[in-house]
Structures are given as C-alpha cells and as structure tokens.
Amino acid sequence: MTDKEQFLSICRENIHRDGIDALLSWLEKSDFFVAPASTRFHGNYEGGLCEHSLNVYREAKKLNDIYSLGFSEETLAICGLFHDVCKTNLYKKGSRNVKDETTGAWEKREVWEIDEKIPLGHGEKSCLILQWYIKLNIDELLAIRWHMGGFDAAVKGGDFSISRAQDMSRLVALLSIADMVASHLIEVKGD
C-alpha cells in the first residue's frame, strides 16, 4: 500500500467528523501527497510530507499507549496526519548552485523552495485550514497549534502560551514529541 493509500485508509477508518470528505477531496487536488516535508531537513523529497505525517501519527499512537493517555483514535489521526497541513501548496521546485563533494566543481542542483502564499504562521495555519473543513476540539487545537514546541517562532520570541497549553492538555506534549521522534530519529535527512 502506498503512503497516500495508507493515509486515506487511516482517515476513513478513524475520522468520522462532518467535513472530512471535503478535506480529503481538497488534499487530493493539492500537492499534499507529493510535497516534501521541508526544504532541506527531514523529508525534503517528493512524498516526504505524507510520509512524515504517517510517521507522526504512528508515534503519537505509541506514546498514547505507553503512557495510557486515553486519546481517541480519531484525535490521534487528526493530530498526527494533519499537524503539518499548513505545508500544502507551500513548496516549489527551484535550483541553486552547489559544490560537488567529490570534485569541488560547482553544479546546478534541483532544490525545494518555500513559496508561501498565506503567511499565517505554522501551527496557526494548520488549525485554520482544518477548521475550514472539520471542527477541532480544544485538545486538538492546542496540540496542532503548538506541535513545533521550542522551535515555534512565538516561543523564540518569549511567548509563554505554549506552557499554558501544555498545562491544559497532555496532547500538546504528545504531538510535539511524536513530531520530534519522526523528524529527528526516524526520517533520514536529505541533501
């Protein structure tokens, strides 16, 4: 089964909210299933975003079981699979000159570039897009909004909202940790 088929199967089996069919239809018309997860870090290759989303979902399920947190399959699927929906239609292919590691000669290489058309922030944008289609509960909103943990720009700027969110819902830490495990332990860094 392809990553896209697995993703859609998990959604159809576990998510039963009004609007899920419209959300999946929008995703299928977008670049979500072929987009990279990043420009130069984890999953910076075609299909990386879908693969990363599946990895985060699987890790979130494991953490939920290990710590007996009791979050539903539906919540885990929504948070794990859609936490980075903000990256849909975000990247485009470009090129840049890089030195060949063996010869030292400069050569043109294809790279992924950010082409942000709706600059709303990372977690915030994912929450907003999802809310256009399905209703999220407060745990899901907080977890998706703050899934970047200490890498979120608001945290770097001194915003303490993440601490309050973590106090309100253990799903915030669960999703952030699942994202870190997927992106830093499971997925191989590309060029």
Tell me the pLDDT tens digit for each residue of 30-86.
999 999 999 887 888 999 999 999 999 999 999 999 999 999 999 999 999 999 999
pLDDT confidence of residue 182: 97
d(CA 85, CA 1): 22
Give the model's pLDDT for residue 188: 67
Contact between 145 and 154 (Cβ < 8 Å):
no
What does the pLDDT read at residue 162?
87
- CB-facing half-sphere around the CA of 18: CA atoms within 13 A: 2
Name every residue whose Cβ is closer than 8 Å to that of residue 103 and which is 6 or more positions away in sequence.
Answer: none
Which of 117, 123, 112, 113 has the alpha carbon at shortest distance from 161?
123
pLDDT attached to residue 190: 46
pLDDT at 144: 98
Tokens of 22: 């419209």
Which residues of the chain carry a pLDDT beneath 70?
188-191
Task: Give the model's pLDDT for residue 191.
Answer: 44
Q: Give CA angle at 43 (70, 57), nearest 5°.
A: 10
